[in-house]
């Protein structure tokens, strides 16, 4: 089941204490994991999905074969699965351009392009910290 079907996850509440209570050493308030962030990272962090988004961010529109070439270790079957998932989320749009043969192109939607700052920051981290 993908994150889309999961819906927001419950955020645990601690009994007692006002909501805006400052975080103190006794840690009466527990940090709760943001369900939307969790959903986002589960989408983008899926095996290969981050790589696909990163590749699409550098171009206007790409054909299936071009994406496959840019992420060479990904099988066509898995790439097709990932593209459908990204389409379902609204991150990617698939366009069939008429012609012989018809040309199928994928590009990021506004929602997908909005991932650029997160991807850039992660790329920066990776360059600095991964050997």
Nearest-5° Cα angle at 38, 36 to 41: 110
Among the listed residues 18, 20, 73, 77, the single contact to its own copies using CB under 8 A: 73
Question: Smallest distance, Å, CB 55 to its own copies?
Answer: 5
User: Do 3 and 43 touch, CB atoms closer than 8 A?
Assistant: yes
Question: Smallest distance, Å, CB 29 to its own copies?
Answer: 10
Residue 34 binding its own copies, by CB under 8 A: yes
Site mask for its own copies (CB under 8 A), range 77-116, x = bound: ----------------------------------x--xx-
Helix ranges, the chain (H): 3-6, 35-44, 49-57, 64-70, 76-89, 110-113, 116-129
Number of amino acids touching its own copies (CB under 8 A)? 52
Question: Smallest distance, Å, CB 124 to its own copies?
Answer: 8
Question: Smallest distance, Å, CB 25 to its own copies?
Answer: 9
Closest to 106 (Cα-Cα) out of 41, 58, 46: 58
């Amino acid at each position: 089941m993908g994150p889309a079907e999961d819906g927001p996850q419950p955020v645990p509440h601690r009994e007692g204490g006002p909501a805006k209570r400052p975080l103190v050493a006794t840690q009466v308030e527990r940090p709760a994991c943001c369900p939307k962030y969790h959903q986002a990272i589960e989408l983008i962090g899926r095996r290969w999905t981050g790589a696909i988004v990163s590749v699409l961010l550098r171009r206007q529109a790409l054909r299936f074969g071009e994406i496959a070439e840019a992420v060479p270790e990904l099988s066509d079957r898995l790439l097709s699965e990932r593209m459908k998932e990204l389409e379902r989320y609204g991150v990617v749009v698939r366009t069939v351009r008429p012609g012989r043969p018809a040309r199928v192109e994928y590009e990021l939607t506004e929602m997908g392009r909005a991932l650029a700052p997160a991807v850039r920051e992660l790329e920066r981290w990776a360059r600095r910290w991964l050997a």
